[in-house]
Amino acid sequence: MSAKIMVAGNWKLHNTVEEAIALAGEIASGLMRDDVDVLVCPGFLALEPVALSLSSSSVLVGGQNLYWQDSGAYTGEVSGPQLKAAGASHVLIAHSERRLYFGESEKTARLRLEAALRAGIKPILCVGETQEEREGGQTEGVLQSQLSGALAGFEAGQLGDLLLAYEPVWAIGTGLTATEEQANQAHAFMRAWLESRFDKTVANSTRILYGGSVKPANAAGLISQPEVDGVLVGGASLSAQSFLGIIQAA
Ligand code: PEP
């Protein structure tokens, strides 16, 4: 749907600052395309140094999470204004690992979305079903409830900067990938939901990325699906060679 494909890398809890700068440098120097938006999401400590090291490249930098208050007595948290000042253009919201290990809910996803938009950072809201939910025929119900919970109270005009990532939990870090048809079908469902809840403009302009064991070998097939606007890559974004391979395949 989107004219420009995005390839985003989620580096999770990997890399020291020095290693992150080195990886970012390898990606920037090997990047041969300007028709793909490339985003890397390092850990918080590395975000600003990586953003500074990439300032003369087109590679964008994003956060992996943010807190919903802009400042205050919230020990250990990182806010939208801090991320923005550090150079983040995007931020992941409610990644399945945040939901699983840190108890994040639709309510906190909504608060984080509001905080990102307030700070002028593009939120990438992650949704997806577990294996059990897929096998129980609940995929669409789960997507609908995650989307409607996180986007409760928003109006169409507020969502120009929103991106979604369909990340089936059973495909994250497992080596299992959704088939091209499964990915396209889930994305089509999400787009139809956006149209019914908001309007056609939101449905058509919201980029929907697929995430779950994307590699150079399966990226082209997934990205060629009409409803897939790019990919969110975990493990394979930790090596410049495989991340660049995915970008080349896009
Ligand atoms: C992710 O962390 O968002 C992800 C999709 O991980 P992986 O590519 O390793 O499955």
Q: What is the pTM of this model?
A: 0.97
Residues of the chain falling short of pLDDT 50 = none
What pLDDT, on the 0 to 100 scale, is given for residue 86? 98
* Choice among 97, 129, 167, 227 that is catalytic: 167
Query: Tell me: the pLDDT tens digits for 174-200?
Result: 888 999 999 999 999 999 999 999 999
Question: For residues 173 and 167, what is the distance between their CA atoms, to the nearest angstrom?
Answer: 11
What pLDDT, on the 0 to 100 scale, is given for residue 13? 98
Kindly list the protein residues whose Cβ atom lies closer than 6 A to any atom of ligand 1: 10, 167, 172-173, 211-214, 232-236
The CATH number given to whatever domain includes residue 101 is 3.20.20.70
What pLDDT, on the 0 to 100 scale, is given for residue 1? 65
Q: Which letter, b or e, does each residue of 164-202 get, where b requires 16 or more Cβ atoms within 10 Å of its Cβ?
A: bbbbbbbbbeeeebbebebbbbbbbbbbebbeebbeeeb
What pLDDT, on the 0 to 100 scale, is given for residue 168? 97
Question: For residues 17 and 37, what is the distance between their CA atoms, to the nearest angstrom?
Answer: 23
Q: Which of 7, 163, 170, 233 to mutate to test the pocket of ligand 1 (most atoms within 8 A of CB)?
A: 233
What pLDDT, on the 0 to 100 scale, is given for residue 2? 65
Task: Check if the beta carbon of residue 24 is closer than 8 Å to that of residue 53.
Answer: yes
Establish whether 95 is a catalytic residue. Answer: yes
Looking at the structure of the chain, the number of domains it has is 1
Query: Tell me: the pLDDT tens digits for 114-150?
Result: 999 999 999 999 999 999 999 999 999 999 999 999 9
- Residue 238 token pair: 């930790």
What pLDDT, on the 0 to 100 scale, is given for residue 173? 86
